Amino acid sequence: MAKERSRKALVELLQRPGNAACADCAAPDPDWASHSLGIFICLNCSGIHRNIPQVSKVKSVRLDDWDDAQVEFMAANGNNVAKAKYESKMPPFYYKPTFLDCQLLREQWIRAKYERKEFIHSEKQEPYSAGYREGFLWKRGRDNGQFLSRKFVLSEREGALKYFNKNDAKEPKAIMKIEHLNATFQPAKIGNPHGLQITYLKDNSTRNIFVYHEDGKEIVDWFNAIRAARFHYLQVAFPGASDVDLVPKLSRNYLKEGYMEKTGPKQTEGFKKRWFTMDDRRLMYFKDPLDAFARGEVFIGSKENSYKVLEGLPPSTQGNHWQHGITIVTPDRKFLFACETEDDQLEWITTFQKVISRPMLPQEYAVEAHFKHKP
């Protein structure tokens, strides 16, 4: 009877504001709880909490036994109370992961909040908020694919992230301007759970570098240091903008990636299989997912500017091995692609339609013009 009463009380607590989504990743309908922190969490996050037993004690809301004191503690706390405490000094640029993000980001977020208490004690934010960071990361070689240790330096004052091929090198191998920098975790693509893809513009073409660090905290600190540098750069560049406007611009996850076949501008060269990445309005294609440079880039504008996406290929098309075609119409030409499956085709068409249905921003017209003048 007491067991049933406890369960009923907990299920009622789940209806309270803030408790209907996981306290850590916002997944809907959390079924677990940390009875030492007083929060409701999802199954995935409960697994991370189990790894910090000195901080968090986890139980199933419906399957485990609860005593009255534990239920009362949950009632006195809950997700909103915990958020007010454990996220009170969270800087606006810090990346707050959701259930769609990789395991590493979610784990380090949970550890930062409850184990290290980084958002209660702001001095613990030094590694990513000081405006300067240096250290070693394993970087994938452009030609041989080997990961080698390289020194990286991020300086807000210089407005750049640099890396050096030798420890005592005076000149950096690359200077990446904070203005054009992006970072996104790519564990599956890089083949490492801590794999981070950093991109920047070199001669207005996208350059990729792939890095990781054995320590999860280190690589997530690098990621947030890059976001902090971007945040402070954008605050200066757009002095009237609010944090809400700037935060979505700090780093971008790709809208979609995967293999498609493509043909050349004459549409007679036969189709070649390429790896495609949709990054905002740039559709890039690579021979290999880990190539440093794209073989080509296509700008995808908006429907107001005569861009459209069509299902299928023109009737005269030949040479495609894959049957599920997509045609992208731009003001200058048509681009023909083929997908292996109908599901892939639908996902790519949906992604392209989202981009095309979004009106272009003033600065995007300048990007479009640059694409038109590319050799």
Q: What share of residues in the chain are helix, strand, coil (percent, to 5)?
A: 35, 25, 40
d(CA 326, CA 311): 5
d(CA 239, CA 79): 34
* Six-digit token string for 260: 């498609």
The lowest-confidence range among 2-6, 104-108, 135-139, 179-183 is 2-6
- pLDDT given at position 1: 67
The distance of Cα 205 from the centroid of its chain, to the nearest Å, equals 21
- For the packed helices 2-13 and 68-76, what is the interaxial angle rounded to 10 degrees? 10
- pLDDT given at position 353: 97
Query: Apex CA 39: angle with CA 34 and CA 40, to 5°?
Result: 90
d(CA 72, CA 253): 41
* pLDDT top residue among 35 and 266: 35
- pLDDT given at position 374: 52
Q: Are 10 and 61 in contact (CB under 8 A)?
A: yes
CA-CA-CA-CA torsion sign (76, 81, 85, 86): positive
First-last CA distance in the chain: 77
- Cα–Cα distances in Å, from 187 out to 104, 212, 288? 9, 9, 16
pLDDT (tens digit per residue) in 334-361 = 999 999 999 999 999 999 999 999 999 8
Query: Could you tell me where the beta strands, DSSP code E, fall in 245-290?
Result: 256-262, 272-279, 282-286
- pLDDT given at position 278: 96
- Cα–Cα distances in Å, from 122 out to 91, 128, 201, 224? 9, 11, 33, 14
pLDDT (tens digit per residue) in 284-308 = 999 999 999 999 999 999 999 999 9
pLDDT band at residue 164 using 50, 70 and 90 as cut-offs: very high
User: How many CA atoms, within 13 angstroms, populate the side-chain half-sphere of residue 124?
Assistant: 14
- pLDDT given at position 318: 86
d(CA 310, CA 333): 13
d(CA 369, CA 179): 19
Q: Are 297 and 371 in contact (CB under 8 A)?
A: yes
Say how many C-beta atoms besides its own lie within 10 A of residue 265's C-beta. Answer: 11
pLDDT (tens digit per residue) in 43-84 = 999 999 999 999 999 999 999 999 999 999 999 999 999 999
The lowest-confidence range among 90-94, 243-247, 265-269, 293-297 is 265-269
Average pLDDT, stretch 150-175? 94
* pLDDT top residue among 30 and 266: 30
- Model confidence, pTM: 0.92
140 pLDDT higher than 80: yes
- What structural domains does the chain harbor? 1-122 (1.10.220.150), 130-246 (2.30.29.30), 256-373 (2.30.29.30)
Q: Are 137 and 195 in contact (CB under 8 A)?
A: no
Average pLDDT, stretch 94-105? 97
* pLDDT top residue among 284 and 168: 284
d(CA 237, CA 87): 28
pLDDT band at residue 372 using 50, 70 and 90 as cut-offs: low
- pLDDT given at position 51: 97
- pLDDT given at position 48: 98
Average model confidence (pLDDT) for the chain? 94
Pick from 276, 275, 277: nearest CA to 254 = 277
